[in-house]
């Protein structure tokens, strides 16, 4: 091969490798190794650092530079073309600049021509387009939900019953990834969820763990159909007396089968599933057989109870304690059935 002299720097092909008519260094200086876009738009989520590429959003990123690096790797690197006569191109490194967001990205690329390797660092300007991805936007605005769980409670307001409020809060928090927003309304809580499955999962847990009655309805149609789940929560506490179909029931505890009561008139336990309780209807018992009474004495095998406007002597065997041991002088909420006297709970 005849000797060549570089017209830019005057060096000989005996000293330095050549690419075409120029020495390698001058070739890279003049033409570069690769053709790359001078700038790229970078649409990213200010909240989770996901980026948008070809109309789609990526998964979230722990930091923005990593998101930009992946974006450039997948969207810019495949579009790099070697500068003729260079044939092969290898991207060695993609390094976003400093700054939040970075304003440029450095792409180190190596080309090869007939065994001569040449390297160039492309500086690509980054045009940041800060945005909110649909997931974060949905979470922020409350749009983008497809199901609503409407929690309603009776007889106590949801906030008025610590036990059930805590349970409900815990259930909602355990699904926070799916929850778009939670809105307090006059009647209770509206929980907006991303999809139907999440709403059903929440409803199932509200039923099995809090005894809610669940009813599903749909609104709208097609792909935008929204699922509304009504979850009715009986905010009764152990020790409450409620009335179901005219019968006074003393509430003991919630079991997997439903609410467990003592039937105060008939005696014996009774379990009512949540659905039945709502279907039959219930209210706080305020009938005449319930009163506040004092234990005057419990000697000689009998109890003497006293209340304003009356008193009662009853054999100890007919007294049923649903509370701690009764002492003389203490006041109790008392239920007088035809056969028995129930001491329901201590009154301060
Ligand atoms: Zn040269
Ligand atoms: Zn986001």
Sign of CA dihedral 112, 118, 121, 125: negative
pTM over the 0.85 mark: no
Strand, helix or coil at 335?
Answer: strand
* 30 CA to centre of ligand 1 in angstroms: 10
Question: Closest ligand to 30 CA?
Answer: 1
* 161 CA to centre of ligand 2 in angstroms: 36
Residue 142, pLDDT above cutoff 80: no
* 47 CA to centre of ligand 2 in angstroms: 5
Question: Closest ligand to 15 CA?
Answer: 1
* 138 CA to centre of ligand 2 in angstroms: 9
Residue 269: name the closest of 283, 251, 287, 285 by CA.
251
Question: Closest ligand to 19 CA?
Answer: 1
d(CA 90, CA 119): 9
pLDDT at 144: 74
* 179 CA to centre of ligand 2 in angstroms: 15
* 82 CA to centre of ligand 1 in angstroms: 20
* 222 CA to centre of ligand 2 in angstroms: 27
* 91 CA to centre of ligand 1 in angstroms: 24
Question: Closest ligand to 59 CA?
Answer: 2
* 24 CA to centre of ligand 1 in angstroms: 7
Sign of CA dihedral 283, 284, 287, 289: positive
Residue 161, pLDDT above cutoff 80: no
Q: What is the DSSP string of 160-180?
A: G-HHHHHHHHHHHHTTTTTEE
* 121 CA to centre of ligand 1 in angstroms: 19
pLDDT tens digit sequence for 37-94: 999 999 999 989 999 998 888 989 999 999 999 999 999 999 999 998 998 999 999 9
Residue 188: name the closest of 147, 142, 144, 152 by CA.
152
Residue 326 DSSP one-character state: P
| Residue 161, number of CB atoms within 10 A of its CB | 19
pLDDT tens digit sequence for 298-326: 888 999 999 988 899 999 999 999 887 88
d(CA 217, CA 201): 15
pLDDT at 140: 67
> pLDDT category, 177, cuts 50, 70, 90?
confident
* 296 CA to centre of ligand 2 in angstroms: 69
């Amino acid at each position: 091969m005849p000797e060549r002299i570089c017209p830019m720097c005057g060096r000989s092909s005996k000293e330095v490798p050549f690419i075409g008519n120029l020495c390698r260094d001058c070739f890279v200086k003049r033409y570069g190794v690769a053709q790359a876009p001078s700038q790229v738009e970078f649409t990213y989520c200010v909240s989770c650092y996901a980026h948008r590429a070809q109309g789609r959003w990526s998964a979230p990123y722990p930091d923005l530079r990593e998101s930009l690096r992946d974006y450039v790797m997948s969207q810019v690197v495949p579009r790099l073309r070697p500068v003729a006569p260079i044939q092969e191109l290898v991207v060695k490194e993609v390094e976003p600049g400093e700054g939040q967001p970075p304003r440029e990205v450095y792409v180190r690329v190596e080309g090869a021509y007939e065994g001569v390797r040449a390297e160039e660092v492309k500086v690509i300007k980054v045009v940041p387009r800060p945005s909110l991805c649909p997931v974060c936007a949905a979470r922020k605005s409350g749009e983008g939900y497809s199901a609503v769980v409407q929690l309603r409670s009776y007889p106590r307001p949801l906030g008025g019953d610590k036990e059930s409020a805590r349970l409900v809060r815990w259930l909602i928090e355990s699904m926070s990834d799916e929850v778009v927003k939670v809105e307090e309304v006059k009647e209770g809580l509206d929980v907006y969820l991303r999809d139907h499955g999440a709403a059903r999962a929440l409803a199932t847990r509200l039923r099995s763990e809090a005894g809610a009655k669940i009813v599903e309805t749909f609104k709208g149609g097609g792909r935008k159909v929204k699922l509304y789940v009504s979850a009715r929560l009986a905010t009764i506490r152990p020790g409450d007396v409620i009335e179901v179909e005219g019968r006074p029931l003393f509430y003991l505890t919630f079991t997997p089968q439903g609410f467990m009561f003592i039937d105060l008139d008939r005696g014996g336990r009774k379990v009512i599933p949540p659905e039945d309780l709502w279907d039959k209807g219930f209210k706080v018992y305020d009938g005449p057989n319930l009163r506040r009474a004092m234990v005057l004495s419990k000697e000689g095998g009998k109890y003497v109870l006293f209340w304003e406007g009356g008193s009662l002597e009853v054999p100890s065997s007919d007294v049923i304690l649903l509370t701690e041991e009764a002492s003389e002088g203490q006041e109790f909420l008392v239920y007088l059935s035809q056969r028995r006297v129930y001491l329901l709970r201590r009154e301060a």
